[in-house]
Every structure is written in structure tokens, then in C-alpha cells.
Structure 1
Amino acid sequence: MRYLITILGILIVFGLTFIASNDKRKIRYRPLILMVILQIILAALLLNTAVGSFVISGISAVFEKLLLYAAEGVNFVFGGILNEGEFTFFLGVLLPIVFISALIGILQYIKVLPFIIKYIGLVLSKVNGMGKLESYNAVASAILGQSEVFISVKKQIHKIPKHRLYTLCASAMSTVSMSIVGSYMQILNPEYVVTALVLNLFGGFIIASIINPYVVDKDEDILEVQEGEKQSFFEMLGEYIMDGFKVAIVVAAMLIGFVAIIAMINGIFSLILGVSFQQLLGYVFAPIAFIMGIPWKEAVTAGSIMATKMVSNEFVAMLELENHTELSARTVGIVSVFLVSFANFSSIGIISGAVKGLDEQQGNVVARFGLKLLYGATLVSLLSAIVAGIFI
């Protein structure tokens, strides 16, 4: 029964994607089948083998060590604020982003990340049947972030056609930046975070290939990566440290606002209808949770958490998931994979704003297909959760 629901879930995801396709005749099925098979193999490898456990343990250990280093800086500045033994989300989860951002800047400066991003992107372009630019952008989004990635290709932004621009933005919304992966790992099981990162990379190509199918001419398939202005090492380091701090502050502000607003709306709904807003959303999203492989008795709660992510952000939903200790381990695993992406309403503004900052006309184009971006990115998360659920 479990596998029948999984197959049904995958078929429904593809059906929902197919309905939204811009040109059904241009869909190329061979790369799609190959990428789905790759997703299943990678999910099995990461979740069901000793090799996968070793890889995830290694990645988790690296981030654990990095977060310990980050804690040194946080404690030096804020150590006197906390009572001993207490945990504060802002200090413990968000401020380490500053250190991770600085580390990314150093790896950028010494040309390690550009090399990795470019050549992994080139390999991916052979698998997904898409252009070099799209493949580069997907890998770069997973490392640099959904707004910063567009700066690296700003030489091309003004001449990218609408159909290719959609794919670039969809990749950015379907992934998460490396600077906050460590923060996710403090809330969710690292096993599910790493699995989601890998599956979303291919899922983004799969969904975009159906919603927005096209063939890139060889003459158009040019990748021009912006190196940025030449800076001294310490200029660069200061810039990345401040960027990391801005991200931490923005996430903190959004959490304060969204958590408070959701609490207020829950209170109003409970007063009028006797049921909270999140519970109401849970009933709406329960069928979606069910086709992900979640038992029906837990589907309403899981659906509520999934909906919370869409209307607010992934951090709010992750903290909500942490509160539901009654959920089974399998449900927690599937929902965790679903939550690891930037697929929410606020990301539409972030991405269109980032593009608009580089080219106003192109930013307006992105804003116009914003809801379709969110639709596609949510289907990516749904597909990743279903595939991961086979092995959880």
C-alpha cells in the first residue's frame, strides 16, 4: 500500500506539473526519466546505505565543527546576555550564519567555489539536457543563495529570454543557500537536510523541464560569470561578514513578524470558528501530505506545517515541526525534506527584487510569473519528499 501511494503521489505531481506546462509538445521525456532515476538512486544511497550514512555524518561533523567556531565569536560578543544552560534561537541558530558567510567569501576569493560551481554545472548540463547557464545557476544557487546568485551572472541578465529566466529563478527558489544549512541542521536531522539539498537540485530541473520546456541553441548557450570588482582580502571578508549579519537580522525580523501574525490570526480564527488558522490550512493540505506517504491520522498536522512554510517561511515551519513530538519518525522525515527549500510567498519578492536591482525590466518579468515560480518550487519540494519517503 505504501508503494502504491508513492507511485500515485509521483503521478499526481507530474500531472499537476503537466497541467501548468507552457508547451506540452516540447517536453523531452528522456532527460526527465534519467533524472527521476537519479533521484531515487541518490535517495537510496543517502538514506539506506552505510556509504550514505558516512557521507552525511561527515557533512554533519563539518558543520558541527564550523558552528562551534562560530559560537566562539557569538559568545565573545553576547556571552553575558544568556543565563547559563539556556538556548536563544537568534544567538544559537541565526548568528552562526555570519561565520559561514565569511567562510564562503574566503572560498570565493581563493577561486575554489567558482571552480566547483562551474564544473559541476557543466557535468549537470550533460544529464539534464538544459543549458550551461541553467546548470551553473542551479549549483550556484545552492551555495551562494537565491538573491546573490544573480549577481554572478549579471552580465547576461539583460539578454536572458523570459523562458530561460523562469528556469533560473525556479532553481533559486527550489534550493537553499549553504550559509544557512548549518542553521537548518540545528533544528532538523542533518540526514534529511542533505537529502533534500541533493534531491531538490535534480527536482528543480525535472519540474522546470515540464512547466517550461525549451531547447537551448548552441550559439545561445554561453556562460558569462561575473567575477566582481577586485577587492583586497580584508575588504572581501568584511563585505561577506556584513552580508551574513544582514541575512541573520532579516531572518530574525521575518520570524518575529510571521510568528506574531500567525499567532494573532490563529487567535481570531479560534475565537470566531473554534479552530485555528493553521488547523484550517492543515485540512486543506492534508490530501497533499497523504500522497507524500504520510498516514492519514497525521496528515492534518503535517499539512498544517507544510502550509505554514508556504505562507511564512521554512524556519517558522521547522520550529513548528519541532513542537509536534507526537508525530511518527517517518512523518517527521518526510516533512523535514519538504521544508528544506525557499518555496514561500516572501521568496517571490526576494528573487524579483534581486533581479530588479540588476535590471528593472527583467525584475518586472520575474514578478509577473511569481506565482508560477512558487507553484513549481512547491512541486519540487513535494517530489523530493515523496522520493525520500520511499526510503524513510
Structure 2
Amino acid sequence: LEKKYDKACDFCKKHKTRINYVIYGILITAYVAVVIAACSLNFQRAFPLLIITVLAVFFICWDFLVVKYEDRIAAFFSPGERYLEKQWFWLKWVLCAALIVTIILWLVFDTAKQGSRQMISFGGLVMYVVLMFIFSKYPARVAWRPVFSGIAMQFILGILILRIKVGFDVFNWLGIQIQTFLEYSDTGAKFVFGEKYTDHLFAFKVLPIVVFFSTVMSMLYHLGIMQWLVGKVGWIMHIFMGTTPVESFVAAGNIFVGQTESPLLVRPYLPYITKSELHAVMTAGFSTIAGSVLGAYISFGISASHLLTASVMSAPASLATSKLFWPETEKPQVTLKSDLKMAKSESKNLLEAASQGASSSILLVANIAVNLISFLALLAFIDSALSWVGNLFDYPQLNFENICSYIFMPFSFMMGVDWEDSFIVGGLLGYKTFFNEFVAYERLSKLINNREKGGSMYINGVKQYMTVHSEIIATYALCGFANFGSLGLVIGSLTSLAPSKRKEIAGGAFRAMIAGTVACFMTACIAGMLTVPAVDVHCHILLPNAFNSTSFPANSTEVVKCCQQLFT
């Protein structure tokens, strides 16, 4: 038996490649048969599976052709590349002018249809670019290609997702699927905490979502899917914006993972990057959110499709603001020619990867919980102290939110928020900046619930909710880790990865946080320019007028729910 076993092992080793081809052939044939069978039974039901299959086949074939014929493809495009390099001096200004003229013409015609709010958002976008240029580290050294191409990339993504029906439907469908997928965490939460786990909603429902999502991300990373996605998105930004591979890949990685995890993708190259690249790496972390906390915000009732859109649009915005706020003055050492490779998973198998993902989320969940406990307690104390001080001057309603509202009110208005709502959004931006986005989104979810319930808009002169348009802009503006708590986290994590860059990290972190904040604001401006929300109307006013009746009670939630279905 041992001799036969050894012969079988030797045969398998000798013909390993052929055996792998046979196994892959059988699996692919079986999968194709399953897809054909599903489509023949019910094509509409199997259509998503068919789309996923076609996309997978396309990208696999694309990668195969690029790897096999890379030299031929490069030789084919090299004459055009050389010609563009020669003509780039004047061509870049033509492209920039064409972009600006296109946006202005689009705004003029679109404003005629939708109203003047889009012009305010456009003015806000211009204002943020001008402010970043004025306070730039080296204003005379700004390379405008990453700036304008980043804004153009945002604008293109915004049109594809927010204005074109197919793109909107795709992201809306993705949001629904992610929301459904995250609900499977309820099964584990129910088993561990019991049937009444929802009595403690945040601790026993929201935080388990973070654990579940972290597990899934770890599994995708082990399979190489995350590296593939990050590589493709990073390559697109590198080619389109002209940014270096390190900063492009980190910016792409921040769409999927957090600000402390994304630098791990390029960890071997961190000691060799320039100050501008390091600033871009930090800015990318501040301007986006991690996939692990995305599910938590969705569970608050925040729109999944808008959170996804904000994460994607803020990636090029982070590079645009970073290169404007800290231009490149050195020669980058790490290029595509240096054969940049992303780090691989250290897990031995998929089960170990899942276990490591769940275990690694323990610290994240603990940090979220203790930070919220401490921040909310601190906020209550500050509000109480401010109210006491305000009461001395017959202004007992003075609190932290009011102060932040006055500070950030101009910024929120310039994003396109209605003037009546800019005070509320200013307060949310204050919560996000001085505490964290969890506190801000929790407050935003209460405002959304108040609107959906259809209660009184004002109670004792205080506005209880905002318009849908203002809620959408606030969702985009808050979608980032730019806060003082994350500042220390970034400095600590990057210093441990690149100790030789300690001084550069500490010196550029605050500027990176400002750039990340502005990147979120620019994304919100473009969302304000492109978003056309459902008809924003008070149902208890509309229906009595429509049916010429006054029998509907103004606070009837049934009437509001029925009416909202007609306009969403």
C-alpha cells in the first residue's frame, strides 16, 4: 500500500499542472451548467447571477491578456504616449478649460430645470479649492493634473451613480443587498445575547455587525479578492490622475478597509515614500470610512446607497485635496517599474482567516463602545456646563451643538444645504470633527426618524428635522474619519509601520485631517449639485388639499406613510 501510495503521489506531483487543469475544467463546466439551468428555469430570477458571471469572465480574460501580452500592448500604445507627453504642456490646459466649461454649461441647463441650489454647491466646490490653494504648503509647486482630474473623476462617478438610472439602480441594488447581508449578523447576536437582544440595540445589534463584516473582509483578503479590487481601482486612479502607485493603492484600499489597515497593503514601501505621498496616505484615511463600520451606520437608518457612493467618490477627492494642500516637491522612489506588490494574507486557510477577522474586530468593537461611552458622557457634561454659563446671561439653551452650528454653518450652506437646515448640519459637522462620525450619524438618524414620523417641524422654535436634500448632503459630508480622535490613531499606527518617518507623520497629520475634511465637503458639494431627491412635501398638507377634505389628522402616521410611498 505504501508503494502504491508513493507512486500515486509521484504521479500527482509529476502531472500537477495537468491535474489542476482537469479539476478547474470540471468545476467551470459544472458552474456553467448551473448558470444555464438557472437561466432556463427563470431568467429574470437568475439575471443577477448571469451578470456576476459575465463580469467575472471579462476580468479574468482581461487579466490573462494583460499578463501574457503586456509588452505588445505597451509597444502598441507607446507612440500615442510619447505624442501626449510632447503635447501635454498645452493639452492639459485645454482639458481643464473643457472640464470647467462643461460643468458650467451643465449647471446652467440643469439649474433651469432643478432650481438654483446646484449653483450654491458649485460655488462651495470652487471655494474649497481656492481655500486649499491659499493655505497650501507650497502654492507655487501645485501640480493641477491630480486636482482637476480628481474633481472630474468625482463628477463622472456622481453622474453615473446619482443621475443615470442604470448606475443609480445598480448602487441602490448593491445597498439593499449589503443591508440584507448584514442582517445575517442578527442570527449570531440572537444566539449569544438571547431573544431580547434588540432591547440594547447598539451593543447587541449594531456592534455584532462590525464583527461580522470584519470576518467577511478578512476572508476576502485571504482569497485575494480585496487585493485584486484595490489593485484595479488604484491602477485606474494612477493612470487617470497621475498620482504615484503607493498613494493610489492606499486611496483605493480605504474604500474597503480602515485608515489603519490600508497602509498595510503597501507596508514594505512606506519607509521610502516622500512627504507628499505620506500626506496623501493619511488624507485618504481621513476622507473615507471603513467597510467594517459601514454596516453600523446602515443599521442607524442611513441610506446604504449614499454611504457606498460617498466612499467611492471620496477616494479621488482625497488625492485631489492632498496634492493641492501638500504638493509633491521630491522625486518618488516607488513606481510601477519597481514592481509594486501588495501584502498577502498570513492565514493558512479560509477558516483561520475568518477566525482572525473576528478576533481582530474585538479591539475595534471595544474602541467604538468605550469611545461612545466617554464621548457622550463628556458631551453631556459640556452641555450642562455651557447651559449653566448661558443661564447666567439668560441664555440657558447654550450647548456644544449650538456653538458648532455657528462655526460650521457657512460651510454647510456652501455645500448646498438649505439655509434653514444649515444650522443643524453645522452641529452635526461639529460632532463629527470634535468627537467622531458615530455620534454625528446617530444624531442624523434621529432627525431622519423625526421626518419619517411626520411630526411637527418646530417645537418651541427648534427645528426637529431637515429636508431630504439636506439629509443627503449631510450623509456625504459626515462620511469620513476626519476627527481629533482618529488623529492620534493615525499617528500611532503609521509610526509603528514606518518608524523612520516619525517626524514627518507627526508634522503632517493635522494638515492631512483638514485635507480629509475638505475632501468630504467637496464630495458633499458634488452630491448637492447632482442629487435630485424625491418630492419633499408635507403629506398632511398635500392630501387634504388633493381630496378637498379636512378629515385627515395632521399627526396621522398612517397618512404620512401612505403619502411618502407615492413620492419616494
Same fold (TM over 0.5): yes
- In structure 1, distance between residues paired with 2:418 and 2:219: 45
Alignment pair present for 1:310 and 2:433:
yes
TM-score calculated relative to the size of structure 2: 0.66
Of 474, 483, 504, the match for 1:335? 474
1:14 Cα offset (Å)? 0.6
- Cα RMSD, aligned residues only: 1.9
Contact 1:162 1:365 in 2 (8 A): yes
- Per the TM alignment, residue 24 of structure 1 is displaced from its structure 2 partner at its CA by 2.1
1:220-259, aligned counterparts within 5 Å? 220-221=334-335, 222=338, 223-227=340-344, 229=346, 231-259=348-376
Distance 1:63 1:77 in 2: 23
Structure 1 position 358 matched with structure 2 position 358:
no
Aligned partner letter, 1:271:
W
Q: 1:261 aligns with which of 378, 400, 404?
A: 378
Alignment of 1:157-196 (within 5 A): 157-187=270-300, 188-196=302-310
Partner of 2:237: 124
Deviations 1:248-300 (A, max 9, x none): 22111111111111111011101111211111111111111111111222211
* 1:200-259 deviation line (CA, Å, top 9, x unaligned): 011111101211222775753142422254534333322111112321221111111111
* Aligned mates of 1:79, 1:115 — CA distance in 2: 39
The answer to whether residue 157 in structure 2 is matched with residue 10 in structure 1 is: no
Is the 1:66–1:100 contact (alpha carbons within 8 Å) kept by the matching residues of 2?
Answer: no
> Are residues 1:76 and 2:191 paired?
yes
Determine the C-alpha separation between the residues in 2 that align with 1:23 and 1:87.
51
- Higher RCO structure (Cα 8 Å, ≥6 apart): 1
Residues 95 and 245 in structure 1, CA contact (< 8 A), matched pair in contact too = no
Aligned-pair CA distance for 1:133: 1.1
Amino acid of the structure 2 residue aligned with 1:195: T
Give structure 1 stretches of 5+ with no counterpart: none
Q: Distance in 1 between matches of 2:504 and 2:145?
A: 30
Q: What are the superposed Cα offsets for residues 301-330 of structure 1, whole Å, 9 maximum, x if unpaired?
A: 110111110001111001111223321111
Q: What is the CA–CA distance in structure 2 between the aligned matches of 1:77 and 1:230, rounded to whole Å?
A: 26
CA distance in 1, matches of 2:253, 2:411: 30
Aligned pair 1:46/2:46, yes or no? no
Deviations 1:338-361 (A, max 9, x none): 111111111111111111222334
- Maintained 8 Å contact 1:96/1:183: yes
Classify the secondary structure of the residue corresponding to 1:197: helix
C-alpha distance in structure 1 between counterparts of 2:333 and 2:498, whole Å:
23
CA distance in 1, matches of 2:182, 2:493: 28
Structure 1 SS opposite 2:255: helix
* CA positional deviation for 1:381: 0.8
Rg: which structure is higher?
2
- Determine what percentage of the aligned residue pairs are the same residue: 24
The offset of 1:377, in angstroms, is: 0.6
Matched, 1:203 2:317: yes
Does the Cα contact within 8 Å between 1:192 and 1:337 map onto a contact in 2?
yes
The aligned residue for residue 25 of structure 1 is: 140
Alpha-carbon separation, structure 2, partners of 1:216 and 1:120: 25
Does the CA contact (< 8 Å) of 2:206 and 2:296 recur in 1?
Answer: yes
Q: Distance in 1 between matches of 2:330 and 2:165?
A: 39
Q: Is the 8 A contact 1:142 1:172 kept in 2?
A: no
Aligned length: 390
Give the Cα separation in 2 of the matches to 1:229 and 1:45. 37
Aligned pairs for 1:266-305 (under 5 A) are 266-273=383-390, 274=396, 275-305=398-428
**Would the aligned equivalents of 2:245 and 2:334 in 1 still touch at CA under 8 Å?**
no
Aligned residue in 2 for 1:93 = 206
- Asked whether the 8 Å contact 1:97–1:245 carries over to 2, the reply is no
* Counterpart Cα distance in 2 of 1:156 and 1:105: 22
SS of alignment partner, residue 384 of structure 1: helix
Question: Would you say 1:383 and 2:506 are equivalent positions?
Answer: no
Residue in structure 2 matching 1:137, options 240, 247, 250: 250
Who is 2:149 aligned against? 34
What is the alpha-carbon distance in structure 2 between the residues aligned to residue 316 and residue 99 of structure 1? 21
CA distance in 2 between counterparts of 1:152 and 1:37 reads: 26
Q: What are the ranges of 5 or more consecutive residues in structure 2 without an aligned counterpart?
A: 1-115, 391-395, 451-464, 532-568
Return closer, same or farther for 1:107/1:276 CA change in 2, 3 Å cut-off.
same
CA distance in 2, matches of 1:161, 1:90: 42
Q: Is the 8 A contact 1:354 1:363 kept in 2?
A: no
Distance change in 2, residues 1:165/1:219 (3 Å): closer
Pair 36,70 (structure 1): closer, same or farther in 2 beyond 3 Å: same
2:433 maps to a residue whose letter is: M
Structure 1 runs of 4+ aligned residues shifted over 6 Å read none
Aligned residues of 1:47 and 1:191 also touching (Cα < 8 A): no
